[in-house]
Amino acid sequence: MKVAIASDHGGNELRRELIELLKEMNIDYTDLGPDHDESVDYPDYARPVAEGVANGTYDRGILVCGTGIGMSIAANKVEGIRCALVHDVYTAHATREHNNSNIIAMGGRVIGGALGKEIAKTWLEAEFEGGRHERRIDKITAIEQGK
């Protein structure tokens, strides 16, 4: 599995902790920055992760900003992206099982590193259940494509 990860200044600290998790899990990851702690605009970091997941360069993406909200809104503007804003472990596996989410967003000002890592690990290990959930995702795709 190839994972892209990025943040803004509000998510740098949590992103660094999540990178440690990806290393511990032996997951092939690409860190798309930023490589400094200055203020940046979260859409500039959400976009390459979302476009990379949408075009198949990466299988999954992880985005972190202060709340996770800006990142999730921006990522979900890219066709084919189902980005879930997640701050608890139940939602982390449910959004893989039911929504087949391909990006997760978290808020570095909302949760600490230990919970963030547990959420990311749960999400990375969970599988899409398909079945009735596939039909619902097809309906989301239809909305996205104006059908």
Which residues here bind ligand RB5, judged by CB under 6 A? 8, 10, 42, 65-67, 69-70
- Structure-block tokens of residue 114: 């230990």
Q: Which is nearer to ligand RB5, 37 or 127 (CB)?
A: 37
Least CB distance from residue 105 to ligand RB5, whole Å? 9
**Interatomic CA distance for residues 25 and 125, integer angstroms:** 10
SS3 20: helix
Is 65 noted as a catalytic residue in this protein?
A: yes
Is 83 noted as a catalytic residue in this protein?
A: no
Secondary element (H or E) of residue 5: strand 2-7
Residue-by-residue DSSP string for 8-45: -GGGHHHHHHHHHHHHHTT-EEEE---SS-S---HHHH
Q: Which is nearer to ligand RB5, 87 or 133 (CB)?
A: 87
Least CB distance from residue 123 to ligand RB5, whole Å? 19
The amino acid sitting at 66 is: G
Q: Which of 87, 93, 98, 133 is catalytic?
A: 98
Q: Which is nearer to ligand RB5, 10 or 52 (CB)?
A: 10
Whether the CB-CB separation of 64 and 108 falls below 8 Å is answered with yes
Least CB distance from residue 26 to ligand RB5, whole Å? 29
- Active site amino acids: 65, 98
